[in-house]
């Protein structure tokens, strides 16, 4: 596995690697965990070459504290990737990725004004900026994204369509801790007590799935929100039940679409997201 830190080195390495066949790409912000490794494993199965990027992208953070507190440990990340089947790691600096400010404004319509887009203004524009830059240089055949960031996946698919990019977006399952908590780099910011209590989030989502049809959509939204908020460690920012393609609210269970319950919860100062397909 090779590590490169500049776009020039990346281009040189990619020229050689592309001669081996298809390229699978896993973009990350580091602080890698088993969820990331499962993305890399998926990429390894479907391609001849696997590239992983590690870059905490400042343009997708709308809160400076959140950016500063985001966990970073390149050596630990490289150790985790060592036996994963990854061929090339690209870990650039901010100056390398943004030699000049990126002023591009992407437009995603209503899929970006709800949920994460509503509570983290500018977040998805930053995600689109960095992912489009990475796609442009790496030119992967397939790129792998976790379903935990459900809305991000929808945004990326839309961006690929808008820009006519020749890359297949491959969604990958949410990987969970034994207690059900969705794996996330942010979990390492939780103390032991918070980690235990954060498991209430996924466990409530699993229970909610069993209540579909027994409670109305509105009742279920209230039930989930109240149950999680009754835990003193947790504070729900939103819980919404949405159509999986346009991300707009569902009013009735009878609607003929796939329904996803998406949630953002503060556990202390740490913001966690999760989701569950309800039908
Ligand atoms: O999901 C993430 O870790 C990031 O949003 C991504 C896709 C690597 C872009 O910075």
Domains of the chain: 2-172 (3.40.50.620), 185-274 (3.30.1300.10)
- Ligand 1 centroid vs 254 CA: distance in angstroms? 34
- Ligand 1 centroid vs 219 CA: distance in angstroms? 33
Collect all residues with Cβ–Cβ distance below 8 Å to 95 and sequence separation of at least 6.
Answer: none
Protein residue with its CA nearest to atom 3 in ligand 1: 28
**Which stretches of 94-216 are DSSP H helices?**
94-97, 115-119, 123-138, 150-162, 192-210
User: From the CB of 130, is ligand 1 less than 6 Å away?
Assistant: yes
Kindly list the distances between the CA atom of residue 135 and the CA atoms of 1, 92, 100, in Å, as whole numbers in the listed order. Answer: 20, 14, 18
User: From the CB of 273, is ligand 1 less than 6 Å away?
Assistant: no
Residue 36 catalytic?
yes
d(CA 65, CA 227): 29
- Ligand 1 centroid vs 155 CA: distance in angstroms? 12
Rg, the chain, Cα only: 19
User: From the CB of 151, is ligand 1 less than 6 Å away?
Assistant: no
Instruction: Specify which residues 143 forms β-bridges with.
Output: 25, 169
Protein residue with its CA nearest to atom 9 in ligand 1: 127
pLDDT per residue, tens digit, the chain (279 aa), is: 999 999 999 999 999 999 999 999 999 999 999 999 999 999 999 999 999 999 999 999 999 999 999 999 999 999 999 999 999 999 999 999 999 999 999 999 999 999 999 999 999 999 999 999 999 999 999 999 999 999 999 999 999 999 999 999 999 999 999 999 999 999 999 999 999 999 999 999 999 999 999 999 999 999 999 999 999 999 999 999 999 999 999 999 998 899 999 999 999 999 999 999 998
d(CA 187, CA 270): 8
């Amino acid at each position: 596995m090779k590590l490169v830190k500049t776009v020039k080195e990346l281009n040189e390495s990619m020229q050689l690697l592309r001669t081996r066949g298809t390229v699978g790409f896993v973009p990350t912000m580091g602080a890698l965990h088993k969820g990331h490794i499962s993305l890399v494993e998926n990429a390894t199965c479907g391609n001849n070459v696997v590239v992983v990027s590690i870059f905490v992208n400042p343009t997708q953070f709308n809160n400076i504290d959140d950016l500063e507190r985001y966990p970073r440990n390149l050596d630990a990340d490289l150790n985790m990737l060592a036996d994963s089947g990854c061929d090339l790691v690209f870990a650039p600096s901010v100056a390398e990725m943004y030699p000049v400010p990126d002023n591009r404004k992407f437009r995603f319509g209503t899929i970006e004004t709800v949920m994460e887009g509503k509570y983290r203004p500018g977040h998805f524009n930053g995600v689109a900026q960095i992912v489009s830059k990475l796609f442009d240089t790496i030119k992967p055949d397939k790129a792998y994204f976790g379903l935990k960031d459900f809305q991000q996946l929808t945004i990326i698919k839309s961006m690929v369509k808008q820009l006519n990019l020749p890359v297949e977006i491959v969604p990958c399952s949410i990987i969970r801790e034994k207690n059900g908590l969705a794996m996330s780099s942010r979990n390492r910011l939780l103390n032991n007590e918070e980690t235990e209590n954060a498991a209430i989030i996924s466990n409530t989502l699993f229970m909610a799935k069993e209540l579909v049809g027994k409670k109305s959509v509105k009742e279920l939204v209230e039930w989930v929100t109240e149950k999680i908020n009754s835990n003193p460690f947790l504070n729900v920012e939103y819980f919404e039940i949405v159509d999986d393609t346009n991300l707009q609210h569902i009013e009735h269970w009878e609607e003929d679409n796939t329904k996803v319950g998406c949630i953002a919860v503060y556990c202390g100062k740490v913001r966690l997201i999760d989701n569950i397909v309800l039908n």
